[in-house]
Chain A
Amino acid sequence: AQKITQTQPGMFVQEKEAVTLDCTYDTSDPSYGLFWYKQPSSGEMIFLIYQGSYDQQNATEGRYSLNFQKARKSANLVISASQLGDSAMYFCAILEYGNKLVFGAGTILRVKS
């Protein structure tokens, strides 16, 4: 069963505008965590943001925020004031026992100047 679904294979955004990348998840565990990673063309995996299932407030890290809607099982990433350097592949992932990550297929984001 698909645990992480990212329905947007590719997205375009104008520089300085905000963009939302969608992620829905499927789990029966009461305790879980959700991650977003950025993978630029150079290939490394860069941690962006984390949301625990019991966290009361939506996570924020600088220009990144996570729109966490537990009842809808969605954890969308919002990037404010997009920059050219934000062009990359973005992965949503859910944390399972053993600190194992299950990744979605990813969304390619292109920022236009």
Chain B
Amino acid sequence: NAGVTQTPKFQVLKTGQSMTLQCAQDMNHEYMSWYRQDPGMGLRLIHYSVGAGITDQGEVPNGYNVSRSTTEDFPLRLLSAAPSQTSVYFCASSRGTGGSKSYEQYFGPGTRLTVT
């Protein structure tokens, strides 16, 4: 299993550009989430999904869109990049409710985004 993969690892954007951060998992997990981590801070939830076709907003959703058309993929779209979106982005997945260790979160390696 590859686990949770994220592409790209690094990205530099100019203000106003758009892009999509990719996240994929091969563990058949129902739950997937996107977090951002700003310098010296903990992770904050952007959007999450409890299954294909179901998404919802987290703590800091403004400026980001998500969709979940398959169980495996959960892309994060930046519509019009702003310097305030300079951050490290983590995708995570978990099995969901019920069963042993269903709570366990698997994190991707992160994408470091800089907006100039």
A residues neighboring B (CB under 8 Å): 4, 33, 35, 43-45, 47, 50, 52, 91, 93, 95, 98-106
Contact = CB atoms under 8 A, between A and B. Distances in A.
Interface in B21-65: 31, 33, 35, 40-45, 48, 50, 56, 58-59
B103 A100 contact: no
Place the interface of chain B in its size category.
20 to 34
Contacts of A103: 35, 42-44
8 smallest CB-CB distances across A and B, nearest first, come from A103-B42, A45-B107, A99-B31, A99-B94, A103-B43, A33-B103, A105-B42, A98-B50
A105 B94 contact: no
A106 B42 contact: yes
A98 B31 contact: yes
Nearest to B109: A44
A interface majority secondary structure = strand
B105 interface: yes
Interface string B84-115: 00001010101011000011110101101000
B45 A101 contact: yes
Given A44-B110, A91-B43, A105-B42, A100 B104 contact: no
